[in-house]
Amino acid sequence: MKAESKITRLVLSSPWFLLVFLVVPVTVILSISMRLQLPLVGPGLLLYNNALLALLIACRFARYLAGLRKGIRYGAEGGATEEGQVVSLSCAETRTTLAARGYLFDGSGTYCEKRDLGYLGTTLLYGGLLVVLFFGTLDNMRQFSGTLYDGVGTSTKLSKLENYRRLNRGPFAADTESLPQMRIMSQVTPNGQFPQGATETLLLAPDGKEYKALLKPGEPFAYGDYDIIMAKLIFEPQIMIKTDKGQTVISQFVKLHPMVEKLGGFSFFGTFVQANLAGDVYYQPEKSRLKVIMRRDGKRVMDAELIFQGERLVGQADLVLTCEKMGQWSEIRVIRRRHMPLLAVGGVIALLGLLLRIAVKSRRVWLEEAPQGCLVKTGDREALTLLAGAAER
């Protein structure tokens, strides 16, 4: 029974046991950052790890919540220091002195404790963590996050999984039949009003209703349980470089993504690699200005600019740069909305509980008979000061 009591305390009380649940997240992070192909390590394992942690936190929260009404909350098991302080009072006198100041003794008479706000702090900590883990795990299990590239033209069914370039679905993700068809009406290149560009869309719901949405980066459009977000504009020029004799050196479509900061007026950037050739491509959409820097075996062999649909080709040394086509895409993300307000509330409650637990120590006292009086084991300074004053009187 004693061994079972130690296991129960380890699982339901010890903060150190919670470190076990850090093993999986750390392993997943290391496997991703170091690109290791470890068996069974992945988002699924992390999800089940968090689900088990949520179950454990729920048990702890229920245990501490039930203890709020009890006189003896912590119990005599665990927490006693090996050394103690002997007071020149009998244990009976010590019990009387402590009881008069609100300390409650258990049936053995050798252990007592006084109510403290730290216990409430622990309860709040587990309650807040339970809210975060429960709704976080629920959101992950029902997760739907898809990314697609789309341009002006025909409608795209957002309910069709094959249309997404990247897709992340939880094991209990709902079907996507409620998602609309999306048609991009126009794309606004970056300007003073829309520094990151914008996408004008028409959404056709399954019930026939139409919604017009002007999507801007960072501003989601709420549709049912989902957010439809424009992440960014992407330009895709066809870079073709030939020799002056007409031999093709390189011909590639290069995706250009927004730059964090403009460089020489250019705000979009991409790269290409082919055999011993490597190149950087810059684009300024306001002026349709395209710049290509190409290196062969690390040595620069081209640094040329042209105006798309203005200058059809630019020659440099024995090389000729052309750009016949320019694709323009909107990166659209469809994400099932998470319970962010509840997660924030749970996080705040857990933080307040942790601070309260740290600020207020537990008030627990253990007594043992000693030849010169009573051996008192406690970290409660108020109890020791109280007993020292009683011994002097």
pLDDT tens for residues 229-259? 999 999 999 999 998 888 899 999 999 999 9
The whole-angstrom separation of Cα 283 and Cα 294 is 15
Confidence of residue 3 (pLDDT cuts 50, 70, 90): very low
**Helix 23-33 and helix 43-67: axis angle, to 10°?**
160
So what's the pLDDT on residue 91? Answer: 93
- Distance CA(379)–CA(83), nearest Å, equals 11
Q: How confident is the model at residue 15 (pLDDT cuts 50, 70, 90)?
A: confident
Q: Can you tell me the distance from the alpha carbon of 307 to that of 284, in angstroms, rounded to the nearest whole number?
A: 9
pLDDT value at residue 390? 86
pTM of the model: 0.77
Whether pLDDT at 42 is above 70: no
Q: In a 3-state reduction of DSSP, which class is residue 329?
A: strand
Helix (H) or strand (E) segment spanning residue 212 = strand 210-215
pLDDT of residue 109: 92
pLDDT at 1: 37
Percent of the chain clearing pLDDT 70 (strictly above): 94
Helix/strand/coil (H/E/C) assignment for every residue in 46-112:
HHHHHHHHHHHHHHHHHHHHHHCCCCCCCCCCCCCCCCCEEECCCHHHHHHHHHHCCCEECCCCCEE
Percentage of the chain beyond pLDDT 90 is 60
Tell me the average pLDDT across 156-179.
92
pLDDT at 138: 92
Q: How confident is the model at residue 313 (pLDDT cuts 50, 70, 90)?
A: low
Q: Tens of pLDDT along 104-133?
A: 999 889 999 999 999 999 999 999 999 999
Residue 281 · residue 308 · CB < 8 Å: no
Residues 254 and 278: beta-carbon distance below 8 Å: no
CA distance 292 to 277: 13
> Are the C-beta atoms of 156 and 163 separated by less than 8 Å?
yes
For residue 2, what pLDDT is reported? 45
Q: What is the C-alpha separation between 94 and 88, in angstroms, rounded? A: 9
